[in-house]
Structure 1
Amino acid sequence: MAPKNDTMHKFNELMVRLNRLLSNPSGIDKVLMTTQYTLALLPPSALSSTRSARINIPKLTSLISDIRMFMRLWGLVGIYTWGLSTLSASRPSPIEIAQVFANTCFQICENVAYLSSHGIVRIRKKTEGQLWLWSSRFWMAHVALEFVRLFGGGRRGKGWERALLSNCAYAPLTVHYSVEGGTISPEAIATCGSVAAVIGLQNEWRKTA
Structure 2
Amino acid sequence: MTMATTYKPLTAERIEDMTLGAFGNLRPSDTLNHLIRYLSTWSGSDKLFMLIQYGAKVLIPILEARARLQHRAGVRTQPTSSIAPKLAKLASTIGSARSLWGLWGMLPIIQWLIALERAPPPTRRLLTIERTQGWSMLAFFPLQQLSFLRTNDLVPAALHLPTPSGGRPRRVAIHDGAVSLWSTRLWMAYVVLQLAHLREDRALLVKRQRALEKLSVREKLQPPERAELARRWDAWYNELAVNLSYLPMTIHWSLEKGLFGNDIWVSLFGFAAAIASFRSGWKATALPPPPPPAELSEDAPETQILRPYIRVSRHPHLWRMTMSVGTTRLFSFPLLSMAYVYYRVLIREINLMLNFPSNL
TM-score by length of 2: 0.52
Larger Rg: 2
Match of 1:98 in 2: 132
Match of 2:109 in 1: 79
The answer on whether the counterparts of 2:63 and 2:84 sit within 8 Å (CA) in structure 1 is no
2:253 aligned to which of 157, 163, 177? 177
The one-letter code sitting in structure 2 at the alignment partner of 1:118 is: N
Identity over aligned pairs, percent: 29
- CA offset at residue 165 of structure 1? 1.4
- CA offset at residue 32 of structure 1? 0.6
Structure 1 gaps of 5+ residues are none
- CA offset at residue 44 of structure 1? 3.6
Query: 1:108-144 deviations in whole A, cap 9, x for unaligned?
Result: 1101111222222212586122111111000000011
Change (3 A) 1:86 1:53: closer
Query: 1:81-129 deviations in whole A, cap 9, x for unaligned?
Result: 1111112235670000000011111111101111222222212586122
- CA offset at residue 45 of structure 1? 5.4
* C-alpha distance in 2 between matches for 1:122 and 1:87: 38
**Larger relative strand fraction:** 2
- CA offset at residue 189 of structure 1? 0.7
Greater RCO structure (CA 8 Å; 6+ sep): 1
**Larger relative helix fraction:** 1
Runs of 4+ with >4 A deviation: 47-51
- CA offset at residue 16 of structure 1? 1.9
Tell whether 2:26 aligns with 1:8: yes
Structure 2 counterparts to residues 1-209 of structure 1, below 5 A: 8-9=26-27, 12-42=29-59, 44=61, 46-47=63-64, 51-52=81-82, 56-90=86-120, 93-123=127-157, 127-152=175-200, 153-155=203-205, 157-158=232-233, 159-184=235-260, 185-209=262-286
- CA offset at residue 43 of structure 1? 5.0
Change (3 A) 1:90 1:16: closer
Paired residue total: 203
The one-letter code sitting in structure 2 at the alignment partner of 1:154 is: L
The one-letter code sitting in structure 1 at the alignment partner of 2:265 is: A
Cα RMSD of the aligned pairs, angstroms, is: 2.5
Query: 1:136-162 deviations in whole A, cap 9, x for unaligned?
Result: 000000011011111124225322111
Q: Which moved more, 1:81-90 or 1:115-124?
A: 115-124
